[in-house]
Copies of this chain bind each other. A is one copy, B any other.
Amino acid sequence: MDALKPHAENRCFGGTVGFYKHTSQECGGEMRFAVYLPPQAQAGKVPVLYYLSGLTCTEDTFLIKGGAQQLAAELGLMLVVPDTSPRQTGIPKEDADWEVGTAAGFYLDATQAPWASRFRMYSYVTRELPELVGKHFPARMDREGIFGHSMGGHGALVCALRQPGRYRSVSAFAPISAPMRCPWGQKAFGTYLGADTEAWRAWDATELLRGGARVPPLLVDQGTNDKFLAEQLKPELLRAACEQAGQPLTLRSQDGYDHGYYFVSTFMADHLRHHAAALNA
């Protein structure tokens, strides 16, 4: 494997957390990502589990707050965590609104100026980043799983629904269920994809399910005390879409939990075991 040198590296649970930056073709400039290599990666290739983070996060949020490395080390899973968008693109007002622009890439390929040339997070996350990982890390590229939180939980669903058969395992923490039907999604899709809502359907998990896409059995956790639950997340729309589609879904309502990483970390072990069951099979 060619060397890809991390700009920071920390030993963690017998493996290493590494932070990388590179020039992305898809995103037309620098992109950052983080990788946790479990101890098993010293001896051979291991499955790859992508984690897509939510609004305002960076590539290090999950590794600091998620509490995943201990069990990933035990299960032998590589964790790959991209940043949530390109940064310092020079696009006017890219940092002006936390719901769109920097750290709000929504894991889609923008079609509208001035975003279209840089905000191509779907192609980055599903094609360019995996190619880089396959080239530079001891990754079993035939064994990929994907999960995420909030914007990234929806991103994980869409990445999998758009590529049936690719990801062996999929799960989400408090995902945006139907971006076409919530303010976060409507703002982002209007900005990145334009006013024609027909074009939005290809990037909405519930619409993809309605269109016939299927993925491995889904695990989704949602806190009942999540302040974004009713207005933005709407898990009932995901449940209805899965029921109508015959898509297996385990949607768990977690009493009293909120939207943050104290919630995510609490149920991290269940998600990692869900992925390992498929990835290590």
A60-103 vs B, Cβ < 8 Å mask (1 yes, 0 no): 00011101011000000000000000000000000000000000
A261 touching B64 in the complex, CB below 8 Å, given contacts A11-B256, A12-B266, A266-B12: yes
- B257:A11 contact, CB within 8 angstroms: yes
A10 touching B258 in the complex, CB below 8 Å, given contacts A67-B67, A70-B67: yes
A122 at the A/B interface (Cβ < 8 Å)? no
Complex: A266 Cα to B36 Cα, angstroms: 13
Summarize A's interface: helix, strand, loop or mixed.
mixed
Contact of A13 among B14, B69, B225, B266 (CB under 8 A): B266
Quick one: which of A240-271 are within 8 Å of B by CB? Answer: 254, 256-258, 260-263, 265-266, 269
A223 at the A/B interface (Cβ < 8 Å)? yes
Complex: A11 Cα to B257 Cα, angstroms: 5
Q: Which residues of B contact A261 (CB under 8 A)?
A: 64
A193 at the A/B interface (Cβ < 8 Å)? no
Which bucket holds chain A's interface residue count? 20 to 34
Q: Closest residue of chain B to A12, judged by CB?
A: B262
- B265:A12 contact, CB within 8 angstroms: yes
- A11:B263 contact, CB within 8 angstroms: yes
A11 touching B69 in the complex, CB below 8 Å, given contacts A17-B262, A261-B64, A262-B17: no
- A11:B67 contact, CB within 8 angstroms: no
Q: Among A10, A17, A258, which residue has the most Cβ atoms of chain B within 10 A?
A: A10
Quick one: which of A193-246 are within 8 Å of B by CB? Answer: 223, 225
Chain A interface (Cβ within 8 Å of chain B)? Answer: 10-14, 17, 63-65, 67, 69-70, 223, 225, 254, 256-258, 260-263, 265-266, 269
